[in-house]
Structure 1
Amino acid sequence: MPRKYQPVTERKHADCPPHILKLAVTHIQNGLSYRKCSQKYNIPTTVLHRHVKKGDKIKKKGGQTVLSEEEEKILVDRLQVCAEWGYPLDSLTLRLIVKDFLERQGKNVPRFKDNTPGRDFVYSFLERHKEALSARMCQNIKRARAAVSHDVISKYFDELEKELMNVPPSHIINFDETNLSDDPGKRKLIFRRGCKYPERVLNSSKASISVMFAASGDGKILPPYVVYRAQHLYDSWRVGGPQNSRYNRTKSGWFDSFCFSDWVETIAIPYLKKLDGTKYLIGDNLASHLSVDIIQLCNINNIKFIFLPTNSTHLTQPLDVAFFRPMKNSWRQILEEWKKGPGRNEASVPKDKFPGLLKKLVSTLKEDNVRSGFRKCGIVPLCRNKVLQMLPSIDSSAQSETQSTQQSPAVQAIDSTFKELLKSLRQSDSPKTRQKRRRVTVIPGKSMEVKDFEESAVVFEPGPSGLETNGRKLAGGAPTKKTKIPVITESSSSDDSDYCVQESDEYTLQTNSEEEPRLGTHVSHVTPVSTSVHHPGDYLVVKVYGKSKNVFRLYVCKVMHPEDDGYVGVFYKRNPQTCRFFPTDEEAFFSSEDIVTKLQLSDTEKASSRFKNMISFKNDLSDLFLY
């Protein structure tokens, strides 16, 4: 099928407007002759005969489409629904859908190869329905962002309207951090035709510098706050930058609580304290942005925080919606010009050159983009529909309702099921289950068979609260080192080992009273705890629990005096270099059930100052991970 139909010969008669043709047919049906109607409306009699005889069944001029008008309307409606719910289809998928539809209907179209439409079919289809469909470049969003629903946004605006009612736009500040990359990105340039690897010589790296930007609802842009990735800050790194800009450094290069506190004290408060009335800072609810001291300091200056819903900044944050993208485009142009000129020999942007480039970037920022972002996010002025219309509508649109009334009940049922399926795909609340894994102990260089996988292996299974028992996080959220743990053998499954080992950056123990431990270590050398009463001065190994009863650590404790169902003792801490223990100032109560074993002091102690106040024991503690 050609993309643009061109008639071979010129037509003798011009096209008649549909409403005039319909009026002429009505007059003929009411008794007017064909000849008089043809003279009155200047329409050929053959055209009038054809329209009176066939009525609505008359075919359109030129080639006929493969799908009927009703079938194409159904296809358009489903394409719109897919795109609205975040699952748009590409041209190839559309062609395969049409092929599947034709095969289900038992139709064979000779113009299609293997009954599959070509690319020209897609072009013509989009041209026929250009008022409803268009091909666009899209961006990807995570499922967590796609799960933001109408209820979340409505509750957010319910609270927002209470806070920002009658608040001037100048008193509303939106802040957010971003990074300015060292890579200017790709561009379309001129190359020899047939060149397989088009390249250009331009230094770039994956480095980036964090910058905090903030702007008010009336378009005022506050000075930027720069955070370098370094341990020290030098004078040359802040020379030549924008006026009133601030500079700091962190080990990671990202904002921490100290940097955010400094930004509030040095940029936000000096700007807002000049204004009368209550002021508001709007931003995401990152942990680095939360501090009791900062909230108290802001309360003194009549400043309040408003945090955006989780995973909704692409809809509710003005800087993300309309400010950062044009800013990044300007930054890439400035960076590319610098790399072609003074920085052509630099591997990356030096920190002493960054303030000058940042100053050029700030000069290109537009206040209109800021105001557009606040307006698009429904903050200035307050309008929740601005955000709700960016979400997939739960109810069918007016156009879909009009189309559904003209469709058969079977087609309406299919559309309803189709939309419910898309809704469940986009806003699924089912948690992701992690599959159990086995790590097989193999000999380097030796081939493996199926039976080798059935032998002893270290099992990785979900721990409490969905965390891995050999995993990357513990109850406190600290990262762990992933090291090999011995497999429990028959000798280690006795009553002596009623707990299992869970490793952290040092060592953490975990127990489960309902079932046998799956991960553990040999504890055959540990003396079982007797049921006798312990006396002051005895040294014990006790369990110290964390946030839950399933996670604990082992400490050495010296008994001070007994109490009901337990003892009060002083805790000792292990010196990892000498395997000795030194006392701490921590004194606490521990239950008799938490006692693991009793220790015996060593007979001889070294008298050097290095081991002063340190003690050691006769017991073999190699199988116990003590703190």
Structure 2
Amino acid sequence: MPRQRIRTTTRGTTDMEVYRKAAEEHAKDGTKIRSLAKKYNVCHVTLYRYIKKIKAGNTSAIVGYRCVNRVFNIDEEKCLQDYLIECSGVYFGLSPPEVRKLAYELAIKNGKSFPEKWHDTQMAGKEWLAGFLKRHPSLSLRCPQATSLSRASSFNEHNVSKFYDNLANVMDRYKFEPNDIWNMDETGVTTVQKPSKIVAQKGVKQVGAVTSAERGRLVTVAVAINAQGGHIPPFFVFPLKRYQDHMIREGPVGCAGAGNASGWMQEAEFLLFLEHFKKQVKPTVDQKCLLLLDNHASHISIQALDFCKKNGIVLLSFPPHCTHKLQPLDRAIFGPFKKMINTATDNWMRNHPGQTMTIHYIPGIVNEAFPLSVTDRNAIAGFACTGISPFNRNVFTAVDYAPSSVTDRPLQVNNEIPPNDQLTNFDAISSIQVDPDTLVDNIPPSSDRTVQRTISDDISQRSNSPVPGPSGLQQANSSQPFDFTPKDLRPLPQAGPRTTTNKGRKKRKTAILTDTPEKNAIEEEYQQRNKAKKMVLQPHTGNGKRKMTSTKGKGKGKKTKNEAKDKENKSDDEDCFCLVCLETFSNSKRNEQWIQCTQCKMWSHVECVNDDANYVCHNCESD
């Protein structure tokens, strides 16, 4: 079993440039080798062998120790290192067993000599992987953060450029100062915390910590910060229909609240938040402020846009699925805030043993965690790292856009636009007016080669770390050291063509929501939604119609003709279920009414949701 040898001398580690200078001096002046060895502090025997090779005509001679039992040479390991870094950069990184399997396949394809044990397991040994990681300190085992495919594909150069174009437009138009640029978003605070790490006995298989319940209830907390480091008191949304002001008496000073059946931010609650925001920030038509937010359905209501237009609040939305990179709250505030919430909840459980935490204690928990996490330093850092303030549209490099290269697809544009093969550069594509109903979340194909080359260059610059060991072993970099490269064996994944469909909710994009053209388009969409009448789902009949009457419960053990027909047609008619209580439609009570979501067309009991003609289910709300 190979071990890591610890060196006891520095022999064989001298730079080859020293030997070259000594050899040139010996050839020019005829200086003795021992004198040159003392002058340059090298071994005289090694210098003699090097000069002998030079005299024999070997101009590329090297001296020093050689790793005779290494499977791959330095250039090949460097190529493998770059490939692993590129895979992790596109969010398709390889696990240790996959790296070992790849090394085994590379050794087989390139005719390398390796231990016979590799054949038994069909992968490289653990010792090889440990030595490979030690020779390349730029690599390490990391725990990846789960990132949805929508976020990976939507955060690309095209979408981000559109956002910075809109941001530059409003900043040039209104001359906003850092204290006028705000960002708001919601986060959930639950009564069941994630316990912090504790000190326990080593070797114990299971260590527990007390939580309030198996599944808790969630309270929405809306937070707003500005680019100068300021913030306003939070806004709470409780999962209660009957909200009372005394519920937030233990919350931060100046906080406000509201309530609804779901506990999530909806149009009415967002309007209340805007009133709370206006009360704290005090914008006017003459002294406007900029509010950055996401494209949640509750933020895009005609009442909210009218309120912002009237009170001098300019709304700018982020591109869809890009807030994890572009939103200051996500980058610098919510992480420390959730950590402080868990710590405060742990302290509450420790101070109240045997008690169950309810949502009424959450304002007090937030009051303890809010000043420790929502600080001036964190807020300023959040706006700086996103390039919003100070304005820097080049804050993201090609490596940041690398995950979207896996799902690069052609742009979906209007019919009057020429096809992509007629477009010669990215500037032509940038000037195209994209259909507002289409979510543009991919880099145009004409710029793919440029972006991919930039990604490779950035990865090479980041991974050019010195390789430990004798410098005499370092050879000139080769463009393709392998006969079969890692990409030949495991090509980077590439998504297929995008499927087009008119179903689902309307795709949003980054826009200045309070501008008149955008506001008029949203108002027209809002009016069309209001024209749609509430659809009520009733039990099936054989002819496909839905009736109000049902004969359930009229007799014991006897089935009417309608029920018999329903049972016969059950295989033909697809059974649905309530999105809230998960009860199937076939088990509906007598005369029970159902309502359909206006976006995903799924169904719920009228009793389980608010009786609203524009019902949107919690799944669509959360998206």
TM-score by length of 2: 0.64
Report deviation, 1:414: 6.1
Kept after mapping to 1: 8 A contact 2:104/2:118: no
Q: Find 2:312's aligned residue among 302, 305, 311.
A: 302
Residue matched to 2:72: 67
Q: Distance in 2 between matches of 1:504 and 1:90?
A: 57
Determine helix, strand or coil for the equivalent of 1:252: coil
Change (3 A) 1:143 1:157: same
Q: Distance in 2 between matches of 1:217 and 1:504?
A: 58
Kept after mapping to 1: 8 A contact 2:385/2:395: yes
Change (3 A) 1:418 1:237: farther
Kept after mapping to 1: 8 A contact 2:179/2:228: yes
Q: Distance in 2 between matches of 1:577 and 1:261?
A: 36
Report deviation, 1:194: 4.4
What's the Cα RMSD here?
3.9
Residue matched to 1:85: 90
Kept after mapping to 2: 8 A contact 1:16/1:43: yes
Report deviation, 1:268: 3.5
Report deviation, 1:383: 0.9
Report deviation, 1:341: 0.7
Report deviation, 1:406: 4.5
Report deviation, 1:385: 1.6
Residue matched to 2:21: 23
Q: Distance in 2 between matches of 1:56 and 1:503?
A: 89
1:394 partner amino acid: Q
Kept after mapping to 2: 8 A contact 1:3/1:123: no
Report deviation, 1:218: 0.7
Residue matched to 1:76: 81
Kept after mapping to 1: 8 A contact 2:540/2:546: no
Residue matched to 1:174: 183
Please give the residue correspondences for 1:206-605 in structure 2 after superposition, counting only pairs within 5 Å: 206-273=216-283, 277-342=287-352, 344-347=353-356, 349-365=357-373, 366-389=375-398, 390-392=400-402, 393-396=451-454, 397-398=456-457, 406-408=477-479, 422=492, 424-425=494-495, 429-431=497-499, 465=503, 501=544
1:358 partner amino acid: V
Change (3 A) 1:363 1:483: same
Number of residue pairs the alignment of both structures matches: 454
Report deviation, 1:123: 2.7
Change (3 A) 1:177 1:401: closer
For 1:490-534, what per-residue CA distance to the aligned partner results, in whole angstroms no more than 9, with x for missing partners? xx8xxxxxxxx487999xxxxxxxxxxxxxx999xxxxxxxxxxx
Report deviation, 1:107: 3.4
Q: Find 1:142's aligned residue among 148, 152, 155.
A: 148
Change (3 A) 1:207 1:466: closer
Change (3 A) 1:48 1:98: same
Residue matched to 2:433: none
Report deviation, 1:103: 1.8
For 1:154-196, what per-residue CA distance to the aligned partner results, in whole angstroms no more than 9, with x for missing partners? 1221121111234201111100000012233144444445433
Q: Distance in 1 between matches of 2:547 and 2:22?
A: 87
Residue matched to 1:124: 131
Change (3 A) 1:408 1:169: closer
Kept after mapping to 2: 8 A contact 1:174/1:318: yes
Residue matched to 1:155: 162
Kept after mapping to 1: 8 A contact 2:191/2:359: no
Pick which of 119-128 and 283-292 moved more: 119-128
Kept after mapping to 2: 8 A contact 1:173/1:215: yes
1:362 partner amino acid: F
Is residue 69 of structure 2 the alignment partner of residue 37 of structure 1? no
Change (3 A) 1:297 1:337: same
2:494 partner amino acid: S
Q: Find 1:196's aligned residue among 182, 205, 224.
A: 205
Determine helix, strand or coil for the equivalent of 1:353: helix
Determine helix, strand or coil for the equivalent of 2:188: strand
Determine helix, strand or coil for the equivalent of 2:360: coil
2:72 partner amino acid: L
Residue matched to 1:164: 171
Report deviation, 1:61: 5.2
Give 1 or 2: higher strand fraction: 1
Determine helix, strand or coil for the equivalent of 1:147: helix
Q: Distance in 2 between matches of 1:123 and 1:299?
A: 61
Kept after mapping to 2: 8 A contact 1:219/1:371: yes
Which residues of structure 1 form unaligned runs of 5+?
A: 434-463, 468-474, 487-491, 493-500, 507-520, 524-575, 579-627
Which residues of structure 2 form unaligned runs of 5+?
A: 403-450, 465-475, 506-530, 550-563, 567-589, 593-623
Q: Distance in 2 between matches of 1:124 and 1:415?
A: 19
Q: Distance in 2 between matches of 1:5 and 1:410?
A: 27
Change (3 A) 1:140 1:418: farther
Report deviation, 1:59: 5.7
Kept after mapping to 2: 8 A contact 1:282/1:306: yes
Change (3 A) 1:206 1:112: farther
Change (3 A) 1:175 1:478: farther
Greater relative contact order (Cα 8 A, min sep 6): structure 1 or 2? 2
Report deviation, 1:413: 10
Determine helix, strand or coil for the equivalent of 1:386: coil
Determine helix, strand or coil for the equivalent of 2:263: coil
Q: Distance in 2 between matches of 1:183 and 1:61?
A: 58
Q: Distance in 1 between matches of 2:538 and 2:150?
A: 28
Change (3 A) 1:89 1:176: same
Give 1 or 2: higher helix fraction: 2
Residue matched to 1:5: 5
Change (3 A) 1:479 1:374: farther
Kept after mapping to 1: 8 A contact 2:221/2:237: yes
Q: Distance in 1 between matches of 2:239 and 2:329?
A: 23
Q: Distance in 2 between matches of 1:483 and 1:26?
A: 98
Is residue 120 of structure 2 the alignment partner of residue 102 of structure 1? no
Q: Distance in 2 between matches of 1:432 and 1:267?
A: 39
Kept after mapping to 1: 8 A contact 2:109/2:484: no
Percent of residue pairs identical: 23
Report deviation, 1:478: 8.3
For 1:321-372, what per-residue CA distance to the aligned partner results, in whole angstroms no more than 9, with x for missing partners? 1110011111111110111113x2222x223322222211122122211111
Kept after mapping to 2: 8 A contact 1:479/1:505: no
Q: Distance in 1 between matches of 2:310 and 2:541?
A: 53
1:160 partner amino acid: L
Larger Rg: 1
Change (3 A) 1:226 1:466: closer
Q: Distance in 2 between matches of 1:221 and 1:297?
A: 21
Determine helix, strand or coil for the equivalent of 2:452: coil
1:5 partner amino acid: R
Q: Distance in 2 between matches of 1:478 and 1:32?
A: 100
Report deviation, 1:90: 1.6
Kept after mapping to 2: 8 A contact 1:480/1:504: no
Pick which of 289-298 and 275-284 moved more: 275-284
